Amino acid sequence: MPKSFNFAAPPFDSLDSAERERVRAALDIGYYRAGEVILDAHASPAHLHVLIKGVVLQQVGDETVASYGRDDYFDMRGLVAGNSSSRFVAGQEVLTYLLPKDMIQELISANAQFGAMLFSELSEKLDALAERGGRRELHSLLTARVSQAFVRQACHVDGDTPVSEVVRLMMERKISCVLVDDRARLGIFTTTDLQKAAISGQDCARLRVRDFSSFRLVTVHRQDFVFDALVAMIRKGIHRLVVLDGERIFGILEQLDLLSFLANHSHIISLQIEQAHSVADLEAVAPQVQRLIAILDGGGVKVELIARLAQELNRQIFAKVWQLVAPAALQACSCLLVMGSEGRGEQVLRTDQDNALLIADDYQGADIEDACNHFNQVLKNFGYPECPGNIMARNPLWRQSLGRFKETLRHWVHEPSAESQMNLAIFMDGAAVAGDSELLEEARAHLFSLVTDHAGFFGHFARAIDIFDEPGHWWSRVLHLGADEGVVIDLKKQGIFPIVHGVRALALEGALNQVGTVARLEALAQTQVLERGMAEELTQALHYLMGLRLKAGLQSLALGQSPDTLIRLDSLTSFERDILKDCLHQVKRFKALLHHHFHLEAF
Give 273-329 pLDDT, tens digit per residue: 877 888 988 887 888 787 777 767 765 677 887 888 788 888 889 999 999 999 999
Residue 509 class from Cβ within 10 Å (0-12 exposed, 13-18 middle, 19+ buried)?
Answer: buried
Q: Decide if pLDDT at 250 tops 70.
A: yes
Q: Decide if pLDDT at 522 tops 90.
A: yes
More confident residue, 124 or 103: 103
Quickly state the pLDDT bin for 579 (edges 50, 70, 90).
confident
Contact 110, 15 (CB under 8 A): no
Q: Give residue 531's identity as a one-letter amino acid code.
A: E
Average pLDDT over residues 464-469: 85
Q: How far is CA 555 from CA 126, 150, 574, in A?
A: 21, 25, 19
Average pLDDT over residues 386-397: 93
User: Which positions ≥6 away from 571 have C-beta within 8 Å?
Assistant: 552
Average pLDDT over residues 226-241: 78
Give 76-92 pLDDT, tens digit per residue: 777 766 778 788 999 88
List the one residue out of 112, 157, 129 whose CA is nearest residue 19. Answer: 112
- Position 119 scores a pLDDT of 58
What percent of the chain has pLDDT above 70? 88
Indicate the pairing of strand 240-245 with strand 219-221.
Answer: parallel
- Position 134 scores a pLDDT of 46
Quickly state the pLDDT bin for 61 (edges 50, 70, 90).
confident
- Position 159 scores a pLDDT of 94
Quickly state the pLDDT bin for 486 (edges 50, 70, 90).
low
Give 68-77 pLDDT, tens digit per residue: 888 888 887 7
Quickly state the pLDDT bin for 552 (edges 50, 70, 90).
confident
- Position 138 scores a pLDDT of 44
List the one residue out of 258, 194, 183, 184 whose CA is nearest residue 220. Answer: 258
Quickly state the pLDDT bin for 123 (edges 50, 70, 90).
low
- Position 135 scores a pLDDT of 45
Q: Measure the CA–CA gap between 241 and 253, rounded to whole angstroms.
A: 5
Average pLDDT over residues 551-574: 80
Q: How far is CA 52 from CA 33, 77, 78, in A?
A: 14, 20, 20
Q: Measure the CA–CA gap between 69 and 581, rounded to whole angstroms.
A: 13
Q: Measure the CA–CA gap between 323 and 317, rounded to whole angstroms.
A: 10
Q: Measure the CA–CA gap between 436 and 1, rounded to whole angstroms.
A: 71
Q: In DSSP terms, which residues pair with 90 in a beta bridge?
A: 56
What percent of the chain has pLDDT above 90? 43
- Position 453 scores a pLDDT of 67
Residue 458 class from Cβ within 10 Å (0-12 exposed, 13-18 middle, 19+ buried)?
Answer: middle
Q: In DSSP terms, which residues pair with 187 in a beta bridge?
A: 180
Quickly state the pLDDT bin for 232 (edges 50, 70, 90).
confident
Q: Measure the CA–CA gap between 1 and 13, rounded to whole angstroms.
A: 20
Show the domains of the chain with their CATH numbers.
12-118 (2.60.120.10), 148-263 (3.10.580.10), 266-452 (3.30.460.10), 461-602 (1.20.120.330)
Q: Decide if pLDDT at 472 tops 70.
A: no
Quickly state the pLDDT bin for 479 (edges 50, 70, 90).
low
Give 422-462 pLDDT, tens digit per residue: 999 999 999 999 999 999 999 999 999 999 866 678 988 99
Residue 172 class from Cβ within 10 Å (0-12 exposed, 13-18 middle, 19+ buried)?
Answer: exposed
Among 368-382, 550-564, 580-594, the range scoring the smallest mean pLDDT is 550-564
Average pLDDT over residues 364-378: 93
- Position 139 scores a pLDDT of 46
Contact 471, 359 (CB under 8 A): no
Q: Measure the CA–CA gap between 491 and 507, rounded to whole angstroms.
A: 23
Q: Decide if pLDDT at 17 tops 80.
A: yes
Instruction: Count CB neighbours of 572 within 10 A.
Output: 18
Among 1-5, 263-267, 379-383, 539-543, the range scoring the smallest mean pLDDT is 263-267
Average pLDDT, the chain: 84
Q: Decide if pLDDT at 2 tops 70.
A: no
- Position 574 scores a pLDDT of 75
Three-state secondary structure string covering 269-313 = HHHHHHHCCCHHHHHHHHHHHHHHHHHHHHCCCCHHHHHHHHHHH
Average pLDDT over residues 564-573: 81
More confident residue, 126 or 209: 209
